[in-house]
Amino acid sequence: EKLREEVPAGVMELFAIPGLRPDKILKLHQALGVKSLAELEAAAKADRIRPIKGLGASLQTKILQNLAIARGGETQLHLHKAAALLEHAVISVKQEHPEFSRVEIAGDFRRGC
């Protein structure tokens, strides 16, 4: 609770960015004053993250990529995760409904979208 009082509320939303660890979030907040996703995106686009020791160009690139993923919400998955989930779903349906002669994956994944 004490930490929540010390940390601005907007900083907590930075945890929604995949791959952004707490130590990096703290460094971004201390070095650049980043307190929200909008400020994080602005800092990355303005190339202000790259020169900071311990952060660098690769983190800046990852942040921009992962902001897009975070905006997509939970409706988008990496292909390997989607494949595993769909494979499990097909097996489950076949086990629960042996009367189905064919169970196939359909939709965006099957079409490669």
Conformation bin of residue 61: beta by default, left when phi > 0, alpha when psi is -120 to 50: alpha
Domain 2-75: give its CATH code. Answer: 1.10.150.20
Q: Is 18 helix (H, G, I), strand (E, B) or coil?
A: coil
Kindly report the average pLDDT of the chain as a whole number. 83
In the chain, list all ranges with CATH 1.10.150.20.
Answer: 2-75
Q: What is the dihedral of CA 47, 53, 55, 60, to 10 degrees?
A: 10
pLDDT at site 106: 87
- pTM > 0.85: yes or no: no
How far apart (Å, rounded) are the C-alpha atoms in residues 17 and 21?
A: 9
Confidence of residue 45 (pLDDT cuts 50, 70, 90): very high
Who wins on pLDDT, 18 or 95?
Answer: 95
Q: Is the pLDDT of residue 102 over 80?
A: yes
pLDDT at 74: 56
